[in-house]
Structure 1
Amino acid sequence: MPENEGQWVSVDEAEDVAGSIRHALRAAIFAQEDPQAWKWVLLALHSALQGACVCHLTTTAAPIGAVTERNAGEWIDYFAALRDDPTVKQPKTYLMALPDLLKAIRKPHSAGDRSNETGVTLSDAELAWLRRIHDEVRNQFVHFEPMGWSLEVSGVPAIGQLIARILREMLDMGWAFRHLEREARAALRADLETLSSTGWAPGPNDDQTTRDS
């Protein structure tokens, strides 16, 4: 039997966000020697942002809050039916895509406990920027096609700073990361401070990394 057989790693949504931030910071260091690591920097940042939005929006009746409107209706019907029939089949979960999650967090009382009187700060220009990263970068890497790619990395530090600002605001609101232990919240805040600095992602000499097919 392999030595590591039967080993598991278990994390919740908030821990996964914190882990994604840590990985983005680590991958940025690797990118100085291996330019292809920039791909993993961006994917980790995307994962952290999407996960944080889900943590912020989800109500106590999870996953309601972070799912599509149609799916939310299915879950509401399921919870209602569950009172009389414990064997009722649970619906699938269909999360909103990142652009829709970002639109949702901007609304007042968007947190799962509805405690925030103002939405998470995100301008239309910033929303469009993050949407472009989702549509043009993340989707290309996740739904990989047999083709080469070129990635401009000169803007990655600013992307990280924007995502750090969004996550810090959620952290201050309290709901999204309420289940993290105090030490874990402090560590996340420290990592977000690092991500907010101008030098968190020192890049290679070139402004672009390229892989040819």
Structure 2
Amino acid sequence: MTAGNVDRDNHVHFDEYEDVLTSLKMVYENLLLVAEEPTRWKWIVIGLHNALQGAAVCALTQTDGSGPWKKDAEKSIRKAYYGDHKVPDYTQAGEVMDVSKIAPFGELLRRLYPELDLNSGEDWFSAQTRTETSLRMLLSMRNDFQHFVPRSWSIEMAGLPDMVADAVDMIEEIALQKHCHRHNRFSELQLSKYSSRLRRQLAVAD
């Protein structure tokens, strides 16, 4: 490897752990500029959603690759590994993962936090706790930004810092405290350093 994640053949490399860190960096960099350019909230929301979803995927993934997939894919993967055959079919399991999608954002978080009530999806007005409100806000805004339709719309900025703070707290809890089924690379990537920077910047911007 040469500078960053670029190898000698000029290929840039990604993995699920570094993607979380990269997303947090994007959130931080846009927070530095959002006071002068409020439209940067779009990239804060998208980066935050990506970081939280990615952290959940990292925490849920087992050593055999199962854990974060949609339910039908999880069944197929486990059948390939632990079905009627005596020897695990790694090829079949890999083929399932190659064509499958990870579970939706809300389902990933429910697997880690069964007590979370996210059944109302993006309706944050009916949420019972601040954390649920923040998660629903994040999901709703991310979907509106990611699938932008031809229209003019506005968001109230008053609740955005709390939403960011709650999401960062959950990212850090998932990454550093939740049981990880594989080697946890978040500590060596210094994720807590970037989450601390985000909190300090939120305090300045509040």
- Range moving further from structure 2, 151-160 or 64-73: 151-160
Matching residue of 1:69: 71
1:1-213 matched pairs, under 5 angstroms: 7-62=10-65, 64-79=66-81, 83=87, 88=92, 90-91=95-96, 92-107=99-114, 125=129, 126-134=131-139, 136-170=140-174, 171-173=176-178, 175=180, 178-180=183-185, 183-184=188-189, 187-197=190-200, 199-200=202-203, 202=205
- Range moving further from structure 2, 86-95 or 40-49: 86-95
Alpha-carbon shift at residue 38 of structure 1 (Å):
0.9
- Range moving further from structure 2, 67-76 or 174-183: 174-183
Percent of pairs with identical residues: 26
Residues 14 and 177, structure 1, Cα contact 8 Å, conserved in 2: no
Aligned letter for 1:167? I
Matching residue of 1:116: none
Alpha-carbon shift at residue 87 of structure 1 (Å):
6.0
Alpha-carbon shift at residue 97 of structure 1 (Å):
0.9
Question: What residue ranges of structure 1 are gaps of 5+ in the alignment?
Answer: 1-5, 109-122, 204-213
Distance in 2, matches of 1:19 and 1:201, equals 22
Root-mean-square deviation (Å): 3.0
Report the 3-state secondary structure (helix = DSSP H, G, I; strand = E; otherwise coil) of the residue aligned with 2:155: strand
Question: What residue ranges of structure 2 are gaps of 5+ in the alignment?
Answer: 1-8, 116-126
Alpha-carbon shift at residue 86 of structure 1 (Å):
6.9
CA distance change for structure 1 residues 178 and 192 in 2, over 3 Å: closer, same or farther? farther
Report the 3-state secondary structure (helix = DSSP H, G, I; strand = E; otherwise coil) of the residue aligned with 1:44: helix
CA distance change for structure 1 residues 177 and 195 in 2, over 3 Å: closer, same or farther? farther
Give the number of equivalent residue pairs: 181
Residues 29 and 201, structure 1, Cα contact 8 Å, conserved in 2: no
